[in-house]
């Protein structure tokens, strides 16, 4: 998840706000993806009946595979976006210039 | 959006804020797209590998979503221009 | 979308933060509505089977009508909110259309 | 919420932040309401014009949602006051 | 809702940013919970047909009970989280009720 | 995440921002958990009191969600480390 790495000039000693903002973007992205995996895999693997509080064997195995598959989908979609020349400004909302 | 009444420093500030928002929006759109296509296409967890059928579904889903977004964007811009037009002297 | 136009005193040369905040609110609002239309019309018009990556004719026509209808609903709800004087910030303003 | 221990500049700052949040919350509530009523009421896309039946549904949906929110707000305030009350000396 | 009450040194006259941030967290939390109640209880109590704009008797009673039950669930989950010492910030604090 | 190239003041700033985000994320996770378990477990509104059956469901739901999150977190960290590893020199 390192596609946010724009070049950043180092301001020695002081705070390089551009670099901090890039780091924050990366954290936001990872955290957003994590939360989506938690939610998606809960929907896919956990039954809504809640007869017990522990994960049973089937649920546990399902979670492991679900997370792996989500990563795969993330990778495939990322490759497609890059192949399409998907640029932040371009694809996000191409005809949506404010 | 009409920023013509902004002075130079305000416009510079605004540009930075908008760029930041565009970056955040793009990231959110991207992870939302991944989630959407995962949810629609992946329903078999007897294996951890993406099947070729699932992969094809994901690719079509992503393709279609981007085309959908673009078309919505075109209509949105047109209707927005229409509704803004007469309201501004 | 000019309902956020509260009077803002101009600080010559410097940055008028109130005016910037109003502009940001306007951008957030437009962007929020746009994202909701993308999501709603995807649910209404795009089948979940994904047999192909292109929009077919039916989907394309559906999208066009869906966006137009969403705008209409937005306008109707906005008129109702203004008529009801629903909120202090909203009531004082001139128009609530996008 | 108890801001009595805040000094004047803190209260002024807080007031500005709260006003900003109220504005954002209102806008989000508004667009969420539009989306909700659109989703519930519009299911026919053989025409781009809102039918009178759809329009009536949207009006009722918006009306009902606002009344619902208001009622939830009343109960919320009561229960919140109850749970806060004994906890504060 | 006093679980955010970490000790904050008072900076006399000036702005104590830590204290403001804590207050903001509290406001965000209350507002988040409120919005979730509005949405959940709408799903539980309000029919999707919209034949009229007023709340009928059944809907009104349902809303009252729904809000009360949501508060109960909130309390139960909060107690469990504290018992489990689920999170660093939460564990150190005294109570997790709204 | 690699912050090794950050200087001391940047790291201090980053730490504060991350702590703030963790707090917000925790609160959102918490209220999301409450909503999720309420939605799954409470379907009877002929009474305002939580039945013992509903309460048991809520407890199991919360338990299971926390264990689910933890397990996802473990897999996530492993897969993230894998995908980051080769990409960084």
| CA dist., res. A83 & res. B4, Å (int) | 37
Using alpha carbons, select from E72, F39, B1 the residue that is nearest to residue C23. Answer: B1
Task: HSE, CB side, 13 Å, CA atoms: give it for residue B64.
Answer: 29
What are the angstrom distances between the C-alpha of A73 and each of B10, B30, B40, D63? 41, 12, 11, 42
Using alpha carbons, select from D38, D29, D33 the residue that is nearest to residue D57. Answer: D38
Mean pLDDT of A65-94: 79
Q: For chain E, give the percent of residues with pLDDT over 90.
A: 55
Tokens, residue D87? 């906890």
Tokens, residue B61? 């889903």
Is E50 in contact with D57 (Cβ distance < 8 A)? yes
Distance of CA A38 to the CA centre of its chain: 11
Asked whether the predicted pLDDT for residue E2 surpasses 70, the reply is no
| CB contact C38 to D (< 8 Å) | no
Angle at D67 between CA D30 and CA D22, to 5 degrees: 40
Mean pLDDT of B8-25: 90
Mean pLDDT of A19-42: 94
Q: Are F31 and F65 contacting, i.e. CB atoms less than 8 angstroms apart?
A: no
Is C64 in contact with D30 (Cβ distance < 8 A)? no
| CA dist., res. F61 & res. F34, Å (int) | 9
Task: Return the H-helix or E-strand segment holding B51.
Answer: none
Asked whether the predicted pLDDT for residue C4 surpasses 60, the reply is no
Say what the pLDDT of residue C16 is: 82
Is E21 in contact with F20 (Cβ distance < 8 A)? yes
Of E62, E77, E90, the CB nearest to F45: E62
Using alpha carbons, select from B15, B12, B63 the residue that is nearest to residue B40. Answer: B63
Asked whether the predicted pLDDT for residue C90 surpasses 50, the reply is no
Residues near B83 by Cβ (< 8 Å), separated by ≥ 6? C71, C75, C97, C98
| CA dist., res. E44 & res. E66, Å (int) | 8
Q: Are B64 and C55 contacting, i.e. CB atoms less than 8 angstroms apart?
A: yes
Say what the pLDDT of residue F13 is: 87
Asked whether the predicted pLDDT for residue C94 surpasses 90, the reply is no
Where are the alpha helices (H) located in C13-56, listed in sequence order? 17-45
In this prediction, residue D3 has a pLDDT band, given cuts at 50, 70 and 90, of confident
Mean pLDDT of E23-46: 96
In this prediction, residue C13 has a pLDDT band, given cuts at 50, 70 and 90, of low
Residue C93: phi and psi, rounded to 5, are: -90, 165
Distance of CA D12 to the CA centre of its chain: 24
Question: Out of A51-65, B23-37, B49-63, C78-92, which region has the weakest mean confidence (pLDDT)?
Answer: C78-92
Q: pLDDT tens digits for F6-46? A: 888 888 889 988 999 999 999 999 999 999 999 999 999 99
Q: Are C13 and B7 contacting, i.e. CB atoms less than 8 angstroms apart?
A: yes
Is F60 in contact with A51 (Cβ distance < 8 A)? yes
Tokens, residue C36? 């909701």
Centre a 10 Å sphere on the Cβ of residue E1 and count the other Cβ atoms it contains. 20
Nearest CA in chain E to F58: E73
| CA dist., res. D69 & res. E41, Å (int) | 10
Q: Which residues 14-73 of B have a C-beta within 8 angstroms of A?
A: 18, 20, 22-35, 37-39, 41-43, 45-50, 54-55, 58-59, 62-63, 66, 69-70, 73
Q: Is C26 helix (H, G, I), strand (E, B) or coil?
A: helix
Tokens, residue D86? 């004994």
The CA radius of gyration of chain D, in Å to the nearest whole number, is: 20
Tokens, residue E28? 């965000």
| DSSP-assigned states of every residue in D29-58 | HHHHHHHHHHHHH----S-SSPPHHHHHHH
| CB contact E35 to F (< 8 Å) | no
| CB contact E46 to F (< 8 Å) | no
| CA dist., res. B83 & res. B78, Å (int) | 9
Better-scored residue on pLDDT, E40 or C17: E40
Asked whether the predicted pLDDT for residue F89 surpasses 60, the reply is no
Tokens, residue D41? 């009421």
| CB contact C53 to B (< 8 Å) | yes
Q: Is there contact between C and B if contact means ≥3 C-beta pairs under 8 Å?
A: yes
What are the angstrom distances between the C-alpha of B88 and each of A68, C19, D27, E1? 53, 18, 22, 47
């Amino acid at each position: 998840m390192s596609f946010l790495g724009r070049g950043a000039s180092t301001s020695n000693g002081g705070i390089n706000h551009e670099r901090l903002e890039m780091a924050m973007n990366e954290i936001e992205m990872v955290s957003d993806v994590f939360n989506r995996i938690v939610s998606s895999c809960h929907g896919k693997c956990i039954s809504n009946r809640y007869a017990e509080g522990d994960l049973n064997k089937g649920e546990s195995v399902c979670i492991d595979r679900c997370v792996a598959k989500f990563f795969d989908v993330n990778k495939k979609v990322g490759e497609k976006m890059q192949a399409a020349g998907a640029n932040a400004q371009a694809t996000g909302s191409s005809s949506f210039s404010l | 959006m009409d920023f013509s009444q902004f002075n130079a420093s305000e416009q510079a500030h605004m540009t930075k804020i908008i760029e930041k928002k565009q970056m955040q929006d793009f990231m959110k759109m991207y992870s939302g797209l991944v989630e959407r296509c995962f949810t629609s296409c992946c329903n078999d967890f007897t294996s951890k590998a993406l099947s070729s059928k699932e992969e094809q579904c994901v690719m079509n889903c992503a393709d279609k979503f981007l085309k959908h977004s673009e078309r919505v964007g075109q209509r949105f811009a047109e209707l927005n221009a229409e509704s803004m037009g007469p309201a501004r002297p």
